[in-house]
């Protein structure tokens, strides 16, 4: 590996390891170092962040589309395929084919997945639209449980509840059949999601919550603060950030991001598009996110203008022909020049990584942790050095009291103390500079985990 590439990789690894010490844990993506600084995903990863796109399953057969997706992005949000009408078209009959296709496309290429969305007033299947009261509440909770369980361990963050507040000056909840089941429907959904997929970040997601002075923004802020105070499981707030003439990018956007972050949640820009795709506005959005330590990722709502739900606004980073627009260059430059201020809450306690640069045939491992009271999920990324490897083993010493209860994509030697993790049949072969991922869930407290990787 060239020195510059190693430096880029170690910067990203440092950001990753530092972040893993945060109690709430931030999901991070470490991109292949060879691409550092030249694509949206790699540049975001150097800043300890991801850069994602909304993806439609029916476009995965379009090679012009997948070429850009696979080259530029390291996070994916299914645009419609995880919504209620897609995943439970008939009550009790679940349908995951299109969502699984996106998840498999993403994860097999080392991209992370945001799940969107478990509970929403819109895009409900007919049977749910016709329900109310206790029956609807139960059906909604069952839906959350089933879908979050199906994708357990595969989705980094869930938009558990989408768009539950009203527009305008009321600061009230939006009227909907779900809202009419009782004001506690949102927290009930979050609790069900946590129980079903304890390793995922749980987000509240909404639009028109970008301007700090708006009643809707303040109402969401008050709810999140209340949830944190009462221990309702919430880890992140998603700002959709669909900007246009009626809902422009506000000058106080950074204040909104930092104010939510100060509540102790991650902040993610989840559905970014900007009417006309002003390069200056895209640049400002990226700079605002980079200025807030807990703004840990940006997703644009589509790849090419022709993929946008608002195609006539030409709001995205690529032309319909797949060319990079000036907004693309502005975003990439902002990602490459950005700085990450140290997180304020809580301070990192993990020592810097000591893993040496891998020689030919070697590997490195990095870990990100999502900790909650009494348990955690660790996601471990194994990256091959400058040569392909055919097997790997990662040693991780768990602090006393931590016991593994569940694991995926690796075999383990022990449930506690010094644990040795070896590849399973399908993920031992890792190409030069490529990565494989495994994970485990444990009781107890992770503290600073320091993985050591050996290649076979």
Catalytic, out of 88, 163, 187, 275: 163
Shortest Å, Cβ 404 to ligand XIL:
36
Shortest Å, Cβ 162 to ligand XIL:
5
Residue pointed to by tokens 């589309």: 65
Which CB, 86 or 367, lies closer to ligand XIL? 86
Q: Got the DSSP string for 206-259?
A: ESS--STTSHHHHHHHHHHHHHHHHT----EEEE--EEBTTBPPPTTHHHHHHH
Residue pointed to by tokens 């190409």: 431
User: What distance in Å separates the CA atoms of residue 170 and residue 162, rounded to the nearest whole number?
Assistant: 18
User: What distance in Å separates the CA atoms of residue 160 and residue 193, rounded to the nearest whole number?
Assistant: 7
Beta strands at 403-408 and 435-443: parallel, antiparallel or unpaired: antiparallel
Q: 95, 87 in Cβ contact below 8 A?
A: yes
Shortest Å, Cβ 97 to ligand XIL:
18
Q: 29, 45 in Cβ contact below 8 A?
A: yes
Shortest Å, Cβ 240 to ligand XIL:
5
Assess whether 46 carries a catalytic annotation: no
Phi, psi of 378, rounded to the nearest 5 degrees: -110, 130
Shortest Å, Cβ 83 to ligand XIL:
7
Q: What angle is formed at CA 436 by the lines to CA 407 and CA 379, rounded to 5 degrees?
A: 40
Which CB, 127 or 309, lies closer to ligand XIL? 309
Q: 77, 55 in Cβ contact below 8 A?
A: yes
Q: What is the DSSP letter of 403?
A: E
Which CB, 158 or 421, lies closer to ligand XIL? 158
Q: 161, 117 in Cβ contact below 8 A?
A: yes
Which CB, 306 or 434, lies closer to ligand XIL? 306
Q: Point out which residues bind ligand XIL (CB under 6 A).
A: 79-80, 162, 207, 240, 271, 309
Shortest Å, Cβ 105 to ligand XIL:
18
Q: 417, 411 in Cβ contact below 8 A?
A: no
User: What distance in Å separates the CA atoms of residue 456 and residue 452, rounded to the nearest whole number?
Assistant: 13
Integer Rg of the chain from CA: 21
Distances (CA, A) of 257 to 89, 209, 245, 353, 365: 36, 10, 21, 29, 31
Beta strands at 266-274 and 236-239: parallel, antiparallel or unpaired: parallel
User: What distance in Å separates the CA atoms of residue 400 and residue 382, rounded to the nearest whole number?
Assistant: 24
Which CB, 223 or 402, lies closer to ligand XIL? 223
Catalytic, out of 46, 81, 271, 275: 271
User: What distance in Å separates the CA atoms of residue 287 and residue 350, rounded to the nearest whole number?
Assistant: 27
User: What distance in Å separates the CA atoms of residue 214 and residue 167, rounded to the nearest whole number?
Assistant: 9
Shortest Å, Cβ 205 to ligand XIL:
6
Residue of minimal CB distance from ligand XIL? 309
Which CB, 53 or 332, lies closer to ligand XIL? 53
Which CB, 162 or 314, lies closer to ligand XIL? 162
Beta strands at 375-384 and 363-372: parallel, antiparallel or unpaired: antiparallel
- Quick one: which of 224, 316, 306 has its CA closest to 24? 224
Assess whether 88 carries a catalytic annotation: no
Shortest Å, Cβ 22 to ligand XIL:
27
Distances (CA, A) of 62 to 55, 69, 221: 12, 11, 40
Which CB, 162 or 340, lies closer to ligand XIL? 162
Catalytic machinery residues: 163, 271
């Amino acid at each position: 590996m060239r020195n510059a590439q190693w430096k880029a990789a170690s910067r990203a690894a440092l950001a990753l390891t530092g972040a893993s010490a945060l109690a709430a844990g931030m999901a991070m993506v470490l991109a292949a170092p060879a691409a550092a600084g030249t694509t949206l995903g790699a540049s975001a990863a150097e800043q300890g962040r991801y850069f994602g796109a909304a993806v439609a399953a029916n476009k995965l057969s379009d090679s012009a589309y997948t070429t850009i997706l696979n080259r530029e992005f390291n996070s994916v949000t299914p645009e419609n395929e995880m919504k209620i009408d897609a995943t439970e078209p008939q009550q009790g009959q679940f349908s995951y084919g299109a969502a699984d296709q996106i998840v498999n496309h993403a994860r097999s290429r080392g991209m992370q997945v945001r799940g969107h969305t478990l509970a929403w007033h819109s895009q409900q299947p007919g049977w749910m639209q016709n329900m109310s009261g206790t029956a609807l509440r139960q059906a909604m909770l069952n839906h959350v449980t089933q879908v979050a369980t199906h994708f357990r361990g595969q989705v980094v963050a869930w938009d558990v509840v989408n768009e539950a507040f009203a527009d305008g000056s009321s600061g009230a909840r939006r009227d909907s059949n779900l809202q009419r089941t009782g004001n506690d429907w949102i927290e009930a959904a979050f609790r069900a999601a946590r129980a079903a997929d304890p390793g995922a970040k749980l987000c509240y997601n909404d639009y028109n919550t970008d301007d700090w002075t708006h009643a809707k923004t303040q109402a969401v802020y008050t709810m999140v603060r209340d949830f944190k105070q009462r221990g309702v499981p919430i880890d992140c707030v998603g700002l959709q950030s669909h900007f246009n003439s009626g809902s422009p990018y506000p000058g106080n956007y950074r204040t909104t991001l930092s104010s939510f972050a100060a509540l102790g949640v991650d902040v993610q820009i989840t559905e970014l598009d900007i009417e006309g795709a002003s390069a200056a506005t895209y640049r400002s959005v990226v700079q605002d996110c980079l200025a807030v330590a807990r703004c840990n990722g940006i997703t644009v709502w589509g790849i090419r203008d022709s993929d946008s739900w608002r195609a006539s606004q030409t709001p995205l980073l690529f032309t319909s022909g797949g060319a990079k627009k000036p907004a693309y260059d502005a975003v990439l430059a902002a990602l490459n020049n950005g700085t990450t201020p140290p997180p304020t809450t809580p301070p990192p306690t993990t020592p810097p990584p000591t893993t040496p640069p891998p020689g030919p045939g070697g590997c490195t491992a990095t870990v990100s942790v999502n900790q909650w009271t009494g348990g955690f999920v660790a996601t471990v990324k194994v990256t091959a050095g400058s040569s392909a490897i055919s097997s790997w083993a990662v040693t991780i010493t768990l602090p006393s009291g931590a016991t593994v209860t569940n694991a995926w994509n690796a075999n383990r030697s022990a449930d506690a103390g010094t644990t040795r993790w070896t590849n399973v049949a399908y993920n031992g072969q890792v190409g030069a500079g490529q990565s494989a991922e495994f994970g485990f869930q444990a009781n107890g407290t992770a503290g600073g985990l320091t993985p050591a990787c050996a290649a076979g």
